[in-house]
Amino acid sequence: MFRYIGQRLLAAIPVLIGILFITFAMARLLPGDPCRAMLGEKATDQICDAFNERYGLNEPIPVQFGIYMRDVLHGDLGESYRYGKPVTDILIERLPMTIELSLAALAFAVLVGLPLGVISAVKRNSAVDVGTMLIANTGVSMPVFWLGLMLAYIFGLLLKDTPFWLPPSGRNSSGMILPSLIETWNLNLTSGPAYSVLMFLSNLHLFNSFVTGNWPVFVDTARHLILPAVALGTIPLALIARMTRSSLLEVLSQDYIRTARAKGLRERVVVLRHGFRNALIPVITIIGLSLGALLGGAVLTETIFSLSGVGRILFDAIQARDYAIVQGITLIIAATYVMINLFVDVTYAFLDPRVRLG
Amino acid sequence: MNNEPANPEQVLTRPPRTPTQDALNSLIRNRSAQVGMVILAIMIVVAIFAPIIAPYEPNAVLIGKENVKKRQPPCIHLLGCPVDQPQHIMGTDGNVRDQFSRVVYGSRVSLFVGFSTVGFAIIIGTTLGAIAGYVGGATDNLIMRLMDVLLAFPALLLAIAIVTVLGEGLINALLAIGIVSIPVYARVSRASVLSIKELEFVTAARAVGVPDARILGKSILPHVLTPLIVAGTLGIATAILDAAALSFLGLGAQPPMAEWGSMLGAERNQVFTAPHLVFFPGLAIMLTVLGFNLLGDGLRDALDPRLRK
């Protein structure tokens, strides 16, 4: 098992270097001059020379790549021209929002999609099955941004003055203040790794308000998260439900399932213990693949619901030619994606001995 | 009813059905393929006859010509809208254009987007995958690792980045989505080529001295078609969604082009006051994508002999 994990980790290294190279090249290929994009009309040649000097933009391209590689390995993702602060600080601020959103969307997709898939497989061709597959087929065909806007309209406007009203934008209601963990716990920290980690955790609003017992903020954050998570989670939900159904149907037609039934096991045990576990592998693949789609969909969802996560800031940074942010965020997202795929492969090996021994 | 044939010899003399006929038969009987084909047939008819179906020019600004205001809700005479008001079954948009006409013309853009991007990706992806699979060794490794790196980015983010490099606009958006979809087809064609190139008829062709390029083109590629058709149909669905997303963000089709994603993007801040301007273009995207998805699922079931009952 460990050998297998080691092999997979080694295989990920060239891909990660490829990603580094692409993010670097991409940022350099962006048309336009960052200095002029940033400073606009005010930029004179003299100012731009100083600007390029400061951000290392006047070095030859290979040297810039070398410097970039070295810095990344030291955990330094460069400095944003636009915000005038390190990209890691921006990530600490913005990444938690996107993580919270993606995890909430994934939780929604898995918690609803898996049971739906199992029920439709067990009750094949019933009304529940037909209904589920109808939802699944339309679900995968819906544009995320359309679903998001329609949800915002229905729950934010039509259902106003009913208990079903949900906030259609933003991360928290105005007036809801959530102090960082450092403030709440009166810690004397202003920098360093511990500070960064605590700030990162503080910006996970659900986590922060949960551990500090700040229930009004917790409920408020959760309510704001529902619509974006549903919008973002619907496509994965549909994919998971479809895959669970077809995979479980295939497994349930196997001989060992007949054996299990023949020896008098209850149907529940047959389906859940003998069937479901073996049907899980393709489902896990789909869950892993959906996470990539979630990260892409986050740009759209964050735009619609006015959330300032990394998806939105990446989009803005591309427009503003803020190289460092573009590189940093794409790198983090691509690396996360590679790690997720790695994790998925390891999960296979855990579930199915044939994978790790074969 | 008597199902026995009158003369058993008739059965023997009936020519055997070819695999293609078999596949077509089960495709026609497949429920999701039926629904998908109906939806797509309607879309294609709408796209071809757009000038006849649409009551207005897609970019005609109606201000001063009719008694309409901007972002007017749908007015359908049959549903009780006063007859003295001009009929706009999907309302008017922010520039006082007839939304229905724009949605109708939008079908042309979406179908074009779907077929052109996937066509581009299939040509490049299949060639790369076939070469990788057939030649093997270092070439295979180089091509497929490159594909891995492309796949390491969420498709939409990579497309956004490519469009930014190339510049905004529909054609560049199509190119970006095409590039992003290449790895899928490369993988599909490589896998099929690998499984076919060791078969005897390929060895035979090589033994009689047929050049490699010809073996690849004439003997191997036709066998790769089946999985490619399935992947391509489902790929069109994804391509249409991604292109709409790029246009929604303002990176794809530019105004005043009647494209569903950009129509939706232009009016997204009006969703609370004029929901019809968001609802209808989105519905059109969903139906078109649904059509391709259903047809793709049906094709997969029909073309895979193992699944055929």
DSSP secondary structure string, A340-357? HHHHHHHHHHHH-HHHHH
CA distance A331 to chain B (A): 9
Q: Which residues of B201-226 are buried (b: 16+ CB within 10 A; e: fewer)?
A: ebeebeeeeeeeeebbeebbbebbeb
Determine contact, residues A24/A65, Cβ cutoff 8 Å. yes
Is the minimum CB–CB distance between A159 and chain B shorter than 8 Å? no
Q: Flag whether pLDDT at A353 surpasses 80.
A: no
Give CA angle at B84 (B83, B87), nearest 5°.
Answer: 60
Describe the crossing of helices A277-304 and A215-252 by its angle, rounded to 10 degrees. 140
Block residue for tokens 């970039």: A68
| Model confidence pLDDT, tens digit, residues B24-63 | 888 888 888 899 999 999 999 999 999 999 999 998 888 8
* pLDDT higher at A224 or A334: A224
Q: Which residues contact A330 (CB under 8 A, 6 or more apart)?
A: A19, A23, A26, A314, B153, B157, B161
Block residue for tokens 């003998």: A274
Output the six-digit token pair for A5.
């994990």
Is A140 close to B293, i.e. CB distance below 8 A? yes
ipTM surpassing 0.85:
yes
Output the six-digit token pair for A289.
């693949």
Taking residue A138's Cβ as centre, other Cβ atoms within 10 Å add up to 16
CA–CA dist B147, B104 (Å, integer): 37
CA–CA dist A106, A287 (Å, integer): 8
Average pLDDT over residues B180-208: 89
* pLDDT higher at B294 or B160: B294
Best probe of the B interface among A146, A147, A285, by most B CBs < 10 A, is: A146
What does the mean pLDDT of chain B come to? 87
Q: How far apart, in Å, are the Cα atoms of B71 and each of A96, A353, B59, B270, B272?
A: 38, 61, 15, 9, 12
Strands (E) in A133-195, as ranges, are none
Is A318 close to B249, i.e. CB distance below 8 A? no
Least CB–CB distance from A26: residue in B146, B155, B161? B161
Confidence of residue B1 (pLDDT cuts 50, 70, 90): very low
Q: Using CA coordinates, name the residue in chain B closest to A23.
A: B161
Which of A315, A136, A157, A139 shows the shortest CA–CA distance to B245?
A315
Block residue for tokens 């659900």: A206
Q: Flag whether pLDDT at B9 surpasses 60.
A: no
Backbone φ and ψ of A243, nearest 5°: -65, -40
Give CA angle at B234 (B213, A127), nearest 5°.
Answer: 145
Best probe of the B interface among A130, A132, A140, A145, by most B CBs < 10 A, is: A145
CA–CA dist A271, A279 (Å, integer): 10
Half-sphere exposure (Cβ direction) of A167: Cα atoms closer than 13 Å: 16
Is the minimum CB–CB distance between A160 and chain B shorter than 8 Å? no
Return the pLDDT at A358.
52
One-letter amino acid identity for B278?
Answer: V
Return the pLDDT at B11.
57
Q: Using CA coordinates, name the residue in chain A closest to B159.
A: A296
Output the six-digit token pair for B131.
């070469």
What does the mean pLDDT of chain A come to? 85
Prediction pTM value = 0.87
Output the six-digit token pair for B136.
């093997």
CA distance B259 to chain A (A): 14
CA–CA dist B77, B55 (Å, integer): 14
Block residue for tokens 């990162």: A200
Least CB–CB distance from A146: residue in B145, B156, B264? B264
In Å, how far from its chain's centre is CA B1?
44
Average pLDDT over residues A292-307: 85
Average pLDDT over residues A87-95: 90
Is A295 close to B154, i.e. CB distance below 8 A? yes
> Which residues in chain B touch residue A149, judged by CB atoms under 8 angstroms apart?
264, 268, 271, 278, 282
